Amino acid sequence: MDTIMERALSGEPRALARLMSRVERMDEESAAIMKELYPKTGRAHTIGVTGSPGAGKSSLTSCLITSFRKMEKKVGIIAVDPSSPYSGGAILGDRLRMQDHALDSGVFIRSMGSRGNLGGLSGSTRDVSLVMDACGYDIILIETVGVGQSEVDVVKASDTVCLVLVPGMGDDVQIMKAGIMEIADLFVVNKCDRDGASKVAADVKVMLDLMPPRAWRPPVSLASAVRSEGIEDILTNIAAHGKYLADTDEGMARARSKIENVVEEILRREIAERVDSAWRELRGGAIEDLAGRRTDPYTLAADILDKIILK
Amino acid sequence: MDTIMERALSGEPRALARLMSRVERMDEESAAIMKELYPKTGRAHTIGVTGSPGAGKSSLTSCLITSFRKMEKKVGIIAVDPSSPYSGGAILGDRLRMQDHALDSGVFIRSMGSRGNLGGLSGSTRDVSLVMDACGYDIILIETVGVGQSEVDVVKASDTVCLVLVPGMGDDVQIMKAGIMEIADLFVVNKCDRDGASKVAADVKVMLDLMPPRAWRPPVSLASAVRSEGIEDILTNIAAHGKYLADTDEGMARARSKIENVVEEILRREIAERVDSAWRELRGGAIEDLAGRRTDPYTLAADILDKIILK
How many A×B Cβ pairs under 8 Å? 121
Q: What is the pLDDT of residue B154?
A: 83
Q: Do A291 and B255 touch (CB under 8 A)?
A: yes
Which of A160, A155, A157 is CA-nearest to residue A186? A160
B38 → closest Cβ in A41, A274, A296? A296
Query: Which of A232-246, B234-248, B293-307 bottoms out in mean pLDDT, i.e. has the lowest?
Result: B293-307
A298 → closest Cβ in B266, B286, B287? B266
Residues B162/B238, Cβ–Cβ less than 8 Å? yes
Contacts of B31 in chain A (CB under 8 A): 298, 302
Contacts of B263 in chain A (CB under 8 A): 279, 286, 290, 297, 300-301, 304
Q: Which residue has the higher pLDDT, A122 or A86?
A: A122
Q: What is the pLDDT of residue B177?
A: 57
- Give how far A34 is from chain B: nearest CA, Å: 7
Q: Which residue has the higher pLDDT, B66 or B121?
A: B66
Task: Name the helix (H) or strand (E) containing A31.
Answer: helix A28-37
Mutation for B interface: A133, A267, A283, most B CBs within 10 A = A267
Q: What is the pLDDT of residue B172?
A: 55
Q: What is the pLDDT of residue A93?
A: 39
Q: What is the pLDDT of residue A103?
A: 73
Q: What is the pLDDT of residue A96?
A: 46
- pLDDT (tens digit per residue) in A248-300: 998 888 878 888 888 888 887 788 778 888 878 877 788 888 888 888 888 88
Query: Which of A25-34, B19-28, B166-175, B285-294 bottoms out in mean pLDDT, i.e. has the lowest?
Result: B166-175
- pLDDT (tens digit per residue) in A112-131: 887 545 557 888 899 999 99
Mean pLDDT for chain B overall: 85
Query: Which of A88-92, B105-109, B196-200 bottoms out in mean pLDDT, i.e. has the lowest?
Result: A88-92
Contacts of A175 in chain B (CB under 8 A): none
- pLDDT (tens digit per residue) in B109-156: 898 887 555 557 888 899 999 999 999 999 999 998 877 777 888 888
Contacts of A263 in chain B (CB under 8 A): 279, 286, 290, 297, 300-301, 304
Q: Do A271 and B266 touch (CB under 8 A)?
A: no
Q: What is the pLDDT of residue A310?
A: 75
- Return the bridge partners of B108, or none: B76
Whole-structure pTM value: 0.66
pLDDT at A1 over 80: no
Q: Do A298 and B35 touch (CB under 8 A)?
A: yes
Which of B43, B42, B80 is CA-nearest to residue B61? B80
* Residue A107 binned pLDDT confidence (cut-offs 50, 70, 90): very high
Mean pLDDT for chain A overall: 85
pLDDT at B87 over 80: no
Q: Do B291 and A39 touch (CB under 8 A)?
A: no
Q: Do B296 and A35 touch (CB under 8 A)?
A: yes
Which of A202, A36, A51, A194 is CA-nearest to residue A130? A36
- Give how far B213 is from chain A: nearest CA, Å: 19
Q: Do B38 and A310 touch (CB under 8 A)?
A: no
Which chain B residue is nearest to residue A175, measuring alpha carbons? B173
Q: Do A309 and B266 touch (CB under 8 A)?
A: no
* C-alpha–C-alpha distance, residues A285 and A123, integer Å: 33
Q: What is the pLDDT of residue A131?
A: 96
Q: What is the pLDDT of residue B96?
A: 46
Query: Which of A194-208, A236-250, B264-278 bottoms out in mean pLDDT, i.e. has the lowest?
Result: B264-278
Mean pLDDT computed over B81-88: 72
- pLDDT (tens digit per residue) in A6-26: 999 998 989 999 999 999 887
Question: Long-range contacts made by residues B217-221, C-beta under 8 angstroms, separation at least 24?
Answer: B218/B184, B218/B185, B218/B186, B218/B187, B219/B186, B219/B187, B220/B186, B220/B187, B220/B188, B220/B189, B221/B186, B221/B187, B221/B188, B221/B189
Q: Do B305 and A270 touch (CB under 8 A)?
A: yes
Contacts of A267 in chain B (CB under 8 A): 275, 301, 304-305
Contacts of A41 in chain B (CB under 8 A): 293
Residues B16/B129, Cβ–Cβ less than 8 Å? no
Mutation for B interface: A263, A269, A300, A310, most B CBs within 10 A = A263
Count CB neighbours of A270 within 10 A. 17
pLDDT at B185 over 80: yes
A173 → closest Cβ in B176, B293, B305? B176
* C-alpha–C-alpha distance, residues B310 and B305, integer Å: 9
Sheet with B186-189, side-by-side order of all strands: B107-112, B75-80, B139-144, B45-50, B160-165, B186-189, B220-222
Mutation for B interface: A130, A211, A266, A275, most B CBs within 10 A = A266
Contacts of A262 in chain B (CB under 8 A): 297
